[in-house]
Amino acid sequence: MPAPIDFYFDFSSPYGYFAAQKIDAIAEKHDRAVNWRPILLGAIFKITGSRPLVNMPLKSDYAARDMSRLARLLGVPFTLPAGFPIATQAAARAFYWTQQRDPRLARELALALYHAYFADGRDISDPETVVDIAAGLGIDRTQLAAALGDSAVKERLKNEVDAAIARKVFGSPFIIIDDEPFWGVDHLDQVERWLATGGW
């Protein structure tokens, strides 16, 4: 079986949320596993000098419209949250801590966190909210709450973000197939074609 593909995303990224609904099915069709890798766009934007689309002159209205339009096209529930974007350290740390124990459960948690934020408008920057959502999937509340403040877990996330930057990941979603990078949910058709053909 060929190497897994890398799926980088930020929990505050609508386009990451949309891609998260699709990426496993696309990869599975071509016998690939997906390595889910939450990152922190805030740290990356400090390097690129980017800002969230919704904070940009001229672009903000378009961005909100494009997100809603794409959500309708994909049939994915979506409301741009009142607080947007948000810090996603707690969500990402919860993911990596869970992944070390149960990768499948970590993916379920990622989808649940995304849904809570973009469909239900819950503030997943709040560690207590993250723990609540995880507990709903049977994850131990006390252990996770402790893990979110644990220095090893913080370090793990920091290392993931640094490694992503070293690979020149600069947005969300960002997918790497055998060192070939694809940025944006708009590139999922190219991702699928690359997996099917081995490149062009």
Return residues touching a second copy (CB under 8 A). 44, 47-51, 56-59, 61-62, 65-66, 69-70, 72-73, 165, 168-170, 181, 183-184, 186-187, 189-190, 193, 200
CB of 107 to a second copy, least distance (A): 26
Rounded distance, CA 185 to CA 30, Å?
A: 18
CB of 180 to a second copy, least distance (A): 8
Question: CA 35 → CA 8, 81, 123, distances in Å?
Answer: 8, 27, 25
Rounded distance, CA 36 to CA 95, Å?
A: 9
Nearer to a second copy, 128 or 189 (CB): 189
**Edge-to-edge strand ranges of the sheet holding 174-177:** 34-38, 5-9, 174-177, 180-183
Rounded distance, CA 123 to CA 81, Å?
A: 8
Nearer to a second copy, 62 or 143 (CB): 62
Nearer to a second copy, 80 or 145 (CB): 80
Rounded distance, CA 149 to CA 104, Å?
A: 23
Residues 6+ apart with CB under 8 A from 123: 81, 83, 86, 117, 129
CB of 121 to a second copy, least distance (A): 23
At 24 the three-state DSSP class reads helix
Nearer to a second copy, 58 or 82 (CB): 58
Nearer to a second copy, 69 or 141 (CB): 69
CB of 164 to a second copy, least distance (A): 10
CB of 200 to a second copy, least distance (A): 5
